[in-house]
């Protein structure tokens, strides 16, 4: 009968996009996920933004000059990229594709324009929008970070309001009121997504075909 079921959607990893306004805590939630969901692989983005204190090249971001970044775009190395508050941010394509093909789930922590571009290429991805408990709380989180100028804070808040309006394009929305709760909600979503019948259909069809041979 059967053994080699071939590579079906059920064998591939799930692409998870975690998005939401700047300051909502995407980075903190991702960091917490590393311990509560260690099987998820993290995509490291490229950016032209200057490193913040403590950020390490190749760990937090691949820090690039504008010229280097533009070259990556020209060489079609980016799955998506966007300009955000004066800097480029983008997801290197190869790592994402290799991870999915290896059957591992990967998470992209990106802003909304980029997320929508990913959705065009990977409609089967799982798109999660992280919301702040309120707008004043969002502002106080950005201010509390202490890394942004007053002008950047204003730009980020104004972009945030537009970004929240894009939530309708996502599959799930999670309020980041408590980091551990947000993590467990993401894990629950992922568990449910792995059980979607659509992922299994081609595998089952393959089984049927093998049995009828």
Residue 23 assigned as binding residue = yes
Which residue number places its CB atom closest to ligand 5GP? 114
Q: Where is 141: in which H helix or E strand?
A: helix 135-145
Q: In terms of CB distance, is 9 or 92 closer to ligand 5GP?
A: 92
Residue 43 assigned as binding residue = no
Residue 26 assigned as binding residue = yes
Q: In terms of CB distance, is 2 or 97 closer to ligand 5GP?
A: 97
Token digits for 53? 């204190």
Residue 114 assigned as binding residue = no
Least distance (Å) between residue 181 CB and ligand 5GP: 20
Q: In terms of CB distance, is 151 or 204 closer to ligand 5GP?
A: 151
Least distance (Å) between residue 28 CB and ligand 5GP: 11
Applying CB under 6 A, the residues found at the interface with ligand 5GP are 22, 26, 45, 49, 80, 82, 84, 89-91, 109-111, 114
Q: In terms of CB distance, is 14 or 46 closer to ligand 5GP?
A: 46
**What's CA 195's distance to the chain center, in Å?**
20
Residue 158 assigned as binding residue = no
**3-class DSSP assignment, residue 8:** coil
**3-class DSSP assignment, residue 82:** strand
Instruction: Please give the Cα distance from 63 to 55 (Å, whole number).
Output: 10
Q: Give the CA-trace dihedral at 176, 135, 27, 104, to 10 degrees.
A: 50
Least distance (Å) between residue 115 CB and ligand 5GP: 7
Residue 175 assigned as binding residue = no
Least distance (Å) between residue 182 CB and ligand 5GP: 15
What does the angle CA 195 – CA 108 – CA 112 come to, to the nearest 5 degrees?
105
**Strand ranges in the chain using DSSP code E only, listed in sequence order:** 15-19, 41-42, 46-47, 62-63, 78-84, 87-92, 106-109, 126-131, 172-175
Q: In terms of CB distance, is 6 or 144 closer to ligand 5GP?
A: 144
Task: Give the residue numbers of the binding site for ATP.
Answer: 20-27
Task: Give the residue numbers of the binding site.
Answer: 20-27
């Amino acid at each position: 009968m059967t053994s080699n079921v071939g590579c079906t959607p059920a064998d591939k990893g799930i692409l998870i996009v975690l998005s939401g306004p700047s300051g909502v805590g995407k980075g903190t939630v991702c960091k917490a996920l590393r311990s509560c969901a260690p099987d998820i692989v993290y995509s490291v983005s490229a950016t032209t933004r200057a490193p913040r204190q403590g950020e390490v090249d190749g760990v937090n971001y691949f820090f690039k000059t504008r010229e280097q970044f533009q070259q990556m775009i020209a060489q079609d190395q980016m799955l998506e990229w966007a300009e955000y508050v004066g800097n480029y941010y983008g997801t290197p394509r190869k790592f994402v594709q290799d991870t999915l093909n290896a059957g591992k789930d990967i998470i992209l922590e990106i802003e909304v324009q980029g997320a929508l571009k990913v959705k065009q290429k990977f409609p089967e991805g799982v798109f999660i929008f992280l919301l702040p408990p309120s707008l004043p709380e969002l502002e106080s989180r950005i201010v509390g970070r202490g890394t942004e100028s007053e002008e950047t804070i204003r730009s980020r808040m104004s972009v945030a309001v537009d970004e929240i309006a894009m939530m309708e394009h996502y599959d799930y929305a999670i309020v980041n009121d408590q980091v551990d709760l947000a993590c467990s909600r993401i894990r629950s979503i992922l568990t449910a997504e792995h059980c979607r019948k659509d992922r299994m259909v081609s595998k089952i069809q393959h089984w049927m075909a093998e049995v009828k041979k």
